[in-house]
């Protein structure tokens, strides 16, 4: 570790309170190494703030970073103003809302569900897959059946008023050009480290608006939307799932950190890779968050506009991510 890194680490970790200059340092100097306190929780977009608050309060209650990751994103799954997470999310082109979610802990345990209908908390169903089945991923009707067997309430299949209005509008032209650009996104990816250095993460979404029925994005794909390894760190993704799956985005970031890159450098390298593998780059947005086992963190996106919430026991703030363009 360089003397400068050691110094930053010492001076920030030495202080129990959050230094506001960290947010500015991030804005002004993307290559800067950012040190977070432990526990530290990062989550994507503005809804990350209430999600972090829910996660932190759960962590204080149970001391479990896994519980925190589940409870945190459950808050977003219930947020009626969010059109990309939970049953109130925008539907596919048939008018049906289908959900994807994944959860993972640093020992390699993971679970996910995809293309699931009528389940309010797909993240909790993903946790059931991880903890109660010998499988990693269960999809579609099988996932719904698992939810029923586990006593999850099955919701009536109807669009929220906001989603219905948006879908009716879309149907007028019903152009099949599903995109996630700098305006339409909202998936929540959350990663966290506890005070002992154990990592976990969660990711949940209704996916791409007006997608083909059955389309699954990166969020429930372990290694694409989420990856966690206690030996190294954790990463999560948001944005156009197809572009993220192509580069195994979250796994790539964790492996780059394993090779010695900082979280920030690893996120930047993943964005570069994503840009090199996708030619529709002007039309797509994608962003990554990463934490390493020392509590250093990073974020980077293809286009401007990506932000994330950073929560500790004593603070919860939004930070603007740097971007390639």
Helix count and strand count (H, E) for the chain: 10, 13
Nearer to ligand SD4 among residue 55 and residue 180 (C-beta): 180
Q: How are beta strands 296-301 and 34-35 bridged, if at all? A: antiparallel
Q: What is the full DSSP assignment across 128-186?
A: HHHHHSS-SEEEHHHHHHHHHHTTPPBPP----HHHHHHHHHHHHH--------SSS--
> Does residue 53 sit in helix, strand or coil?
helix
Tell me how far, at minimum, the Cβ of 306 lies from ligand SD4, in Å: 10
Q: Which of 217, 223, 233, 311 binds ligand SD4 (CB under 6 A)?
A: 217
Residues shown for the chain: 325
Shortest Cβ distance from residue 149 to ligand SD4 (Å)?
A: 26
Q: Which of 111, 239, 295, 298 binds ligand SD4 (CB under 6 A)?
A: 239
- Would you call 195 exposed, middle or buried from its count of C-beta atoms within 10 A (0-12, 13-18, 19+)? middle
Residue 175: CB minimum distance to ligand SD4, A = 18
Say which residues have a Cβ less than 8 Å from residue 233's Cβ, sequence separation at least 6. 199, 253, 254, 257, 263, 290, 291, 292, 293
Residue numbers 5-64 binding ligand SD4 by CB under 6 A: none
Output the smallest distance, CB 100 to ligand SD4, in A: 6
Residue number with CB closer to ligand SD4 (219 or 312): 219
Residues 122-141 that bind ligand SD4 (CB under 6 A): none
Stretch in the footprint of ligand SD4 (CB under 6 A) among 109-117, 153-161, 234-242, 289-297: 234-242
- Cα-Cα-Cα-Cα torsion 24, 15, 56, 299, nearest 10 degrees, comes to 30
Based on the shown chain and the rule CB under 6 A, indicate whether residue 186 belongs to the binding site for ligand SD4. yes
Phi, psi dihedral angles at 283 (to 5 degrees)? -95, 0
Choice between 43 and 84, CB closer to ligand SD4? 84
The window from 31-39, 53-61, 124-132, 213-221 that contacts ligand SD4 (CB under 6 A) reads 213-221
Q: Which of 98, 91, 88, 107 is nearest to 125 (CA)?
A: 98
Pick the catalytic residue: 44, 71, 105, 187? 187
323 binds ligand SD4 (CB under 6 A): no
Per-residue binder mask for ligand SD4 (CB under 6 A), 73-112, x = binder: -----------x----------------------------
- Is there a contact between 249 and 123 (Cβ–Cβ < 8 Å)? no
Using CB under 6 A, pick the residue from 58, 127, 185, 310 that binds ligand SD4: 185
Give yes or no: 187 in active site: yes
Contact residues for 196 (Cβ-Cβ < 8 A; gap 6+)? 38
Site for ligand SD4 in 262-321 (CB under 6 A): none
Name the residues annotated as catalytic: 187
Residues found near ligand SD4 in the complex (CB under 6 A): 84, 180, 185-187, 205, 207-208, 217-219, 238-241
């Amino acid at each position: 570790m360089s003397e400068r890194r050691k110094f930053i680490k010492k001076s920030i970790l030495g202080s129990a309170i959050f230094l506001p200059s960290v947010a500015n340092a991030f804005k002004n100097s993307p290559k800067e190494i950012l040190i977070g306190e432990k526990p530290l929780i990062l989550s994507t977009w503005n809804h990350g703030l209430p999600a972090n608050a829910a996660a932190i309060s759960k962590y204080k209650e149970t001391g479990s970073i896994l519980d925190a990751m589940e409870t945190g994103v459950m808050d977003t799954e219930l947020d009626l103003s969010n059109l990309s997470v939970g049953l109130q999310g925008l539907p596919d082109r048939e008018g049906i809302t289908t959900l994807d979610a994944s959860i993972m802990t640093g020992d390699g345990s993971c679970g996910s569900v995809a293309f699931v209908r009528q389940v309010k908390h797909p993240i909790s169903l993903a946790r059931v897959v991880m903890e109660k089945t010998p499988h990693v991923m269960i999809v579609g009707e099988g996932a719904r059946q698992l939810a029923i067997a586990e006593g999850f309430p099955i919701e009536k299949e109807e669009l929220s008023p906001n989603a219905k209005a948006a879908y009716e509008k879309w149907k007028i032209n019903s152009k099949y050009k599903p995109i996630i650009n700098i305006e339409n996104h909202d998936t929540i990816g959350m990663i966290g480290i506890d005070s002992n250095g154990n990592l976990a993460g969660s990711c949940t979404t209704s996916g791409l608006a007006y997608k083909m029925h059955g389309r699954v994005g990166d969020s429930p794909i372990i290694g694409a939307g989420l990856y966690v390894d206690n030996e190294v760190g954790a990463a999560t993704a948001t944005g156009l799932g197809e572009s993220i799956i192509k580069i195994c985005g979250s796994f790539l970031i964790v492996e780059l950190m394993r090779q010695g890159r900082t979280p920030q450098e690893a996120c930047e390298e993943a964005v570069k890779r994503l840009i090199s593998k996708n030619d529709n780059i002007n039309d797509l947005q994608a962003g990554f968050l990463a934490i390493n086992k020392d509590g250093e963190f990073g974020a980077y996106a293809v286009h401007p506009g990506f932000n994330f919430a950073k929560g500790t026991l004593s603070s919860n703030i939004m930070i603007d991510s740097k971007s390639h363009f």
